[in-house]
Amino acid sequence: MTENVEHSTIPSPLPWQASQWQRLGAQWHAGRCPHALLISGQAGLGKRRFAEAFAALILCEQPREGLACGRCRGCRLWQAGSHPDFLRVEPEKPGGPLKVEQIRQLGAFVGRTSGRGGARVVWLAPAEAMNVNAANALLKNLEEPAASVIFLLITDSPSGLLPTIRSRCQSIGFPAPGEESALRWLEKGGLDGQAARRALALSGGAPLLALELAEPEAREAREQFLADLTALAQGAASAVSLAGRWESPPDGVELSQLLQFWQQWLAQMLRARSCDLTADEQVMVLLQRLPGSGEEGLRPLFGFYEQLLLGRQALISGANPNKRLLIEELMIRWAKLYV
């Protein structure tokens, strides 16, 4: 999943990022900002927006009320994407790897003097997209930091980074906001009621992702995916043919997102069966067809949830698994739950 950032304006931190912003801003103004920050949390929480806002603050020449002013020469250069002291490092194509050649090119940036006489910023995301060679190349820059260079590493999966990289960064973690806080923000964005609650539940509590999931294209793909899983559970579809359909989801939806939906539906099934609750109507259809009951009936669901988790981690970690084989194996395992 990609957290969209508008580069033509100066972003500000989101409401649920206030404590992290205050803490980091205080460090910066006191001259105690670490040379490397690891900004982590699940997708859809606005980590990239937070990093953009902090980069803009660092490069601003006249900060106001703890934020970049948006008017000074530094801010105008940043908004135009031409600030000489800002370097953005990201995959050449969405979902692709961060290549070792890209990381090695950092040397020229960190080795020169500041173009504006202040700090320089390296913005790198997603950090977990680096392979071992790229990570080792970055490690050399982190072990011997150049003066006035600040690295902002953004990741959805910090466990996918080398421990040596994590240990050289100050970690800024972002948990999901409380449900009511997230729903208020979604309402301001035009999404409310049951649609907001459903999208928020499917997003794992991540408001930015919830907004994306409410878009017509994403909603249509999600509903079709659930319908196909239901047909598979009923023995009315082939795991192999469905895998062929979903290995490359429609535009606006990634395979890792589909697995996240699957996880959320499975979590609803587990809660409903273990606590005797009623879940979403479509999820209840899946639950009612499952064989077994009690603790023994829950065990296969927990096992399959673990498989979904591992599959999703493989997709977002940059491991580049064979998507067709991954989704095919999961669908075969899913069908076996109903035998």
Inside any domain, residue 23: yes
Percentage of the residues of the chain whose pLDDT score is greater than 70: 94
Domain extent for 296: 215-337
Q: 108 and 19 share a domain? A: yes
Q: Is 285 exposed, middle or buried (0-12, 13-18, 19+ CB in 10 A)?
A: middle
Number of domains observed in the structure of the chain: 2
Is the pLDDT at 82 greater than 60? The verdict is yes
Residue 92 confidence class, pLDDT cut points 50, 70, 90: confident
Neighbouring CB atoms inside 10 A of 312's CB total 20
Do 262 and 138 reside in the same domain of the chain? no
- The average pLDDT across 102-106 equals 90
**pLDDT digit string (tens) for 290-315?**
887 666 778 888 999 999 989 988 88
pLDDT over 90, % of the chain: 55
Query: What pLDDT digit, counting tens, does each position of 208-244 carry?
Result: 989 988 888 888 888 899 999 999 999 999 999 999 9
Give the residue-averaged pLDDT of 6-31. 87
Residues 6 or more apart whose Cβ sits within 8 Å of residue 259: 308, 311, 312, 315, 330
The last residue of one of the domains, among 145, 173, 201, is 173
32: domain CATH number is 3.40.50.300
What's the rounded Cα separation, in Å, for the pair 69 and 61? 8
Position 174 pLDDT exceeds 80: yes
> Is residue 10 included in any domain, yes or no?
no
Task: Quote the pLDDT of residue 277.
Answer: 63
66 burial (CB, 10 Å; 0-12 / 13-18 / 19+) is: middle
Q: Is residue 209 part of a domain?
A: no
Question: Do both 161 and 249 map to the same domain?
Answer: no
Structure confidence at residue 289 (pLDDT): 83
Domain end call among 108, 143, 173: 173
Residue 223 contacts by C-beta under 8 Å, 6 or more apart in sequence?
A: none
* One domain, residues 32 and 144: yes
Flag whether 208 is in a domain. no
| Domain end (from 173, 207, 240) | 173
pLDDT in the model for residue 330: 96
> If you average pLDDT over residues 90-114, what whole number do you get?
86
Same domain? For 19 and 168 the reply is: yes
pLDDT digits (tens, 9 = 90+) for 109-152: 988 888 888 899 999 999 988 888 999 999 989 988 888 899 99
Q: Is the pTM of this model over 0.85?
A: no
Query: Is residue 32 scored above 80 in pLDDT?
Result: yes
User: Does residue 241 sit in the same domain as residue 168?
Assistant: no
**Residue 203 belongs to a domain:** no
pLDDT given for residue 318 in this prediction: 61
Same domain, 40 and 157: yes
279 falls in which pLDDT band (50, 70, 90)? low
